[in-house]
Amino acid sequence: MADILIKDMEMPKSCAFCRFYGVYCYAKGDENAHSTLPCPLIPVPPHGDLIDINTLKLAIVNVDYVNKHDYLKGVLNAINNAPTVIPAEEGET
């Protein structure tokens, strides 16, 4: 199962204020979620680009270098080219 991000949605104060809950919690898929389960919604704090850390680690491990300077250049290049999973929010870098 994959996660989803709903942009510009405020975190509800409780199930009563949640657009995914009536008698049934559509976010969790449970009829009694408000009383038995923690909320499945997780706030995403302000952020820059969120990247795939595993892809970045692999790129760093595979940096081809002769000396420390080349290695650092390769690491910075790997960081700068890391694939973005979730883009930065407006105004964040």
* Pick from 5, 51, 14: nearest CA to 33: 14
Task: Give the whole-angstrom CA distance, residue 12 versus residue 41.
Answer: 9
Strand 50-51 relative to strand 84-86, pairing: antiparallel
Instruction: Sketch the domain layout of the chain as residue ranges.
Output: 1-44, 50-86
pLDDT of residue 90: 77
What are 6-58's pLDDT values in tens digits? 888 899 888 888 888 877 888 887 776 665 567 888 888 889 999 999 999 99
Task: Give the whole-angstrom CA distance, residue 65 versus residue 5.
Answer: 38
Q: What pTM did the predictor assign?
A: 0.64
